[in-house]
Amino acid sequence: MPCVTSQQTGAPLVELTGVNKWFGDLHVLQDIDLSIDRGEVVVVIGPSGSGKSTLCRAINRLESIQQGEIRIDGQKLPEEGKALAKLRSDVGMVFQSFNLFAHKTILQNVTLAPTRVRRQSKADAERRARELLDRVGVGHQADKYPAQLSGGQQQRVAIARALAMDPKVILFDEPTSALDPEMINEVLDVMTSLAREGMTMVVVTHEMGFARRAANRVVFMDGGRIVESADPQTFFTNPRSERARDFLSKILEH
Amino acid sequence: MGFLTDNADLLWSAFLTTLSLAVTSGVCALVLGTVLAGMRVSPVPPLRGLATFYVEVFRNTPLTVVFFFLVFGIVQIDLSFPSRFIAAVAALSLYTAAFVCEALRSGINAVPPGQAEAARALGLDFGQSLRTIVLPQAFRTVVPPLGNVWIALAKNTSIAAGFAVTDLTAALQRLSNANADQLLLVFAAIVAGYLVITLPSAWAIRVIEKRVAIVR
pLDDT of residue A201: 96
- Reply yes or no on whether the pLDDT at A4 is more than 90: no
Segment 38-77 of chain B within 8 Å of chain A by CB: 43
In chain A, the largest separation of any two C-alpha atoms, in whole Å, equals: 55
Query: Whole-model pTM?
Result: 0.84
Residues of B in contact with A162 (CB under 8 A): 122
Cβ of B216 and A145 within 8 Å? no
Burial B7-28 (b: 16+ CB within 10 A, else e): beeebeebbebbbebbbbbbeb
Phi, psi of A234 (to 5 degrees): -65, -45
Residues comprising chain B, all counted: 216
What amino acid is encoded at A215 in this protein? A
Rounded Cα–Cα distance for residues A90 and B160 (Å): 55
Interval A117-157: pLDDT, tens: 999 999 999 999 999 999 999 999 999 999 999 999 999 99
Please provide the size of chain A in residues. Answer: 254
Strands (E), chain A: 14-23, 26-36, 41-45, 67-72, 75-76, 91-94, 169-173, 200-204, 217-222, 225-230
Taking CA atoms, what residue in A is nearest to B137?
A103
> A97 in contact with B at a CB cutoff of 8 Å?
yes
CB contact A147 to B (< 8 Å):
yes
Give φ, ψ of A37 to 5 degrees.
-85, 160
Q: How far apart are CA A202 and CA A39, in angstroms?
A: 10
Average pLDDT, chain A: 92
Closest CA to B190 of B2, B6, B1, B4: B4
Categorize the per-residue pLDDT at A5 as very low, low, confident or very high, splitting at 50, 70 and 90: very low
Percent with pLDDT over 70 in chain B: 98
Contact A167, A93 (CB under 8 A): no
Mean pLDDT (whole number) for A171-188: 94
Residue B191 sits at the vertex; the CA angle it makes with B6 and B97, to the nearest 5 degrees, is 120
d(CA A162, CA A191): 12
Half-sphere exposure of A103 (CA within 13 A, CB side): 20
Strand duo A91-94 + A169-173: pairing: parallel
A119 and B CB contact within 8 Å: no
CA-based nearest distance A8→chain B, Å: 24
Can you list the domains of chain B with their CATH numbers?
3-212 (1.10.3720.10)
Mean per-residue pLDDT, A42-50: 92
Q: What is the pLDDT of residues B86-144, one digit of tens each?
A: 999 999 999 999 999 999 999 999 999 999 999 999 999 999 999 999 999 998 889 99
> B133–A101: do the CB atoms touch at under 8 Å?
yes
Q: Please name every residue paired with A93 in a beta bridge, in sequence order, or none if there are none.
A: A171
Q: Is any Cβ of chain B less than 8 angstroms from the Cβ of A90? A: yes
> What was the pLDDT predicted at A253?
64
Domains and CATH numbers, chain A: 14-99+168-253 (3.40.50.300)
Whether chain B has a CB inside 8 Å of the CB on A165: the answer is yes
**Contact assessment for residue B108 and residue B138, using Cβ atoms and an 8 Å cutoff:** yes
Question: Distance between CA B92 and CA B11 in Å, rounded?
Answer: 22
Distance in angstroms (rounded) separating the CA atoms of residues B16 and B12: 6
Q: In the predicted model, is pLDDT for residue B212 greater than 90?
A: no
Mean pLDDT within B163-172: 90
User: What's the DSSP call for residue B82?
Assistant: S
Nearest residue to B92 via CA among B171, B40, B160, B168:
B160
Cβ atoms of residues B82 and B35 within 8 Å: no
Tell me the C-alpha distance between A89 and B118, whole Å. 11
Q: Is the pLDDT of residue A251 over 50?
A: yes
Burial of A182 from C-beta contacts in 10 A (0-12 / 13-18 / 19+): exposed
Judging contacts by C-beta atoms under 8 Å, the chain B residues touching residue A147 are 214-216
- B216 with A88: Cβ contact below 8 A: no
* Residues of chain A above pLDDT 70, percent: 95
- pLDDT digits 0-9 by tens, A58-75: 999 999 999 999 999 999
Rounded to whole angstroms, the Cα distance separating B161 from B183 reads 18
Please name the residue of chain B whose CA is at the shortest distance from the CA of residue A100.
B115
In total, the C-beta contacts within 8 angstroms joining chain A to chain B are 73
The C-alpha atoms of residue A202 and residue A194 are separated, in whole angstroms, by: 12
Under the banding of pLDDT at 50, 70 and 90, the label for residue A3 is very low
Q: Given an 8 Å threshold on Cβ–Cβ distance, is B117 in contact with A85?
A: no
Chain A contact set for B112 (CB, 8 A): 97, 99
Kindly determine whether residue A117 and residue B121, on different chains, have CB atoms separated by under 8 Å: no
ipTM for the whole complex = 0.89
Task: Determine, for residues B122 and A88 on separate chains, whether the beta-carbon distance falls below 8 Å.
Answer: yes
Rounded distance between C-alpha atoms, residue B105 and residue B114, angstroms: 17
**pLDDT tens, B47-95?**
999 999 999 999 999 999 999 999 988 888 878 888 999 999 999 999 9
Please calculate the CA angle A128-A117-A171 and round it to the nearest 5 degrees.
75
Burial class, A110, CB count within 10 angstroms (exposed 0-12 / middle 13-18 / buried 19+): buried
Q: How far is CA A56 from CA A95, A129, A172, A174, in A?
A: 10, 26, 8, 10
User: Average pLDDT for residues B187-194, to the nearest whole number?
Assistant: 92
Question: Nearest residue on chain B to A84, judged by CA atoms?
Answer: B123
- The alpha-carbon gap from B109 to the nearest alpha carbon of chain A, in Å, equals 15
- Nearest CA to B165 out of B15, B9, B4, B7 is that of B15
Residues of A in contact with B122 (CB under 8 A): 88-89, 93, 112-113, 117, 161-162, 165
Q: Please, are residues A214 and A196 in contact by the beta-carbon 8 Å criterion?
A: yes
